[in-house]
Structure 1
Amino acid sequence: MDDIKYGEILMPGDEETQKEQETSVRRKFWPTLRKAARHIPFSRDVVAAFYCALDPQTPTRVRGILLAALGYFVMPVDIIPDFFAVIGYTDDVAVLTLAFSMIRGHIRQEHYDAADRALENEPEAMKTA
């Protein structure tokens, strides 16, 4: 997959698209993370990105990019199906890494603090997500 397609995946979209992405991400994020955590070397960053994307103070464009990346992460079908163990998550990792580079500096310490709390209390976080 080339950079152009990654860029297409990470288009922030309009307000309606972002709302749809947010609904999907909220519903599917924790179950997907639970399955993928051991395959993704930066799970804490992914959870912090989740909280950043849901933060109303995050700029709209940044929210859109993160929701697009997290939406791709939670999709049951993607370029390399996730059921292929380790290699199944390589495309997800690539999309998330690119998104992080595009929004550098917008994931704040408070998002990491929320991620740390959620990861410590994972079962409770999954109930409220």
Structure 2
Amino acid sequence: MKADNKLTNLKNYARKLKQDLFVLYLSYKDNRTPWYAKAVAICVVAYAFSPIDLIPDFIPVLGYLDDIILVPLGISLALKLIPPHVIEENREMAENMKKNGKPKNWFVGILFILIWVLFAVWVGKVILLEIY
């Protein structure tokens, strides 16, 4: 029975965390959000949705620490930097998005993929220069 309760708590926590990521995304796009809060918010959202982690997930235990510690800390920091009234309005908008379906932003998706590809090419060139 305790395992079921822990699993339910973990699912609720993950759901809230995902909801907060959408709140950060909406707050990033909000003009009332200060620039420094926007910078933190977009970095947290980009890292959370990025397939590339600081510590790769295949490393036992350590691989998931960044997802378990860094993402929640980043979300918490970003939410503290954003004015409370902006968070509340964006929380309502995120809830409506959840009910009505999430809009797709192909431009941002393609931009992130392009950035990671360029980064991979740059790293490849640096490695090849070191070898030769």
TM-score range, shorter chain: 0.5 to 0.7
In structure 1, C-alpha distance between the alignment counterparts of 2:53 and 2:100, rounded to whole Å: 29
- Displacement of 1:127 in angstroms is 3.0
Q: Gaps spanning 5+ residues in structure 1: where? A: 1-36
Match of 1:79 in 2: 54
Who is 1:126 aligned against?
Answer: 103
Distance 1:44 1:77, change over 3 A: same
Instruction: Tell me, in whole angstroms, the C-alpha distance in 1 between the residues paired with 2:72 and 2:25.
Output: 14
Q: Deviations over 1:5-24 (max 9, x none)?
A: xxxxxxxxxxxxxxxxxxxx
Q: Identity across aligned pairs (percent)? A: 24
Relative to structure 1, is the Cα distance of residues 81 and 108 closer, same or farther in structure 2, using a 3 angstrom cutoff?
A: same
Give the C-alpha shift of residue 79 in structure 1.
Answer: 2.8
For the residue of structure 1 that corresponds to 2:70, the secondary structure is helix
Aligned residue pair count: 89
Residue 77 of structure 1 aligns with an amino acid whose one-letter code is I
SS of residue matched to 1:56: coil
CA apart distance, 1:80: 4.3
Paired residues for 1:38-117 under 5 Å: 40-41=14-15, 42-81=17-56, 90-103=65-78, 104=80, 106=82, 108-117=87-96
Work out whether residues 27 and 87 of structure 2, in 8 Å CA contact, stay in contact via their aligned partners in 1: yes
Q: Are the counterparts in 1 of residues 44 and 75 from structure 2 also a CA contact under 8 Å? A: no
TM-score normalized with structure 1 length: 0.54
Unaligned runs of at least 5 residues, structure 2: 1-10, 107-132
Structure with greater contact order relative to length (CA < 8 Å, sep ≥ 6): 1
Q: Which has the higher helix share?
A: 2
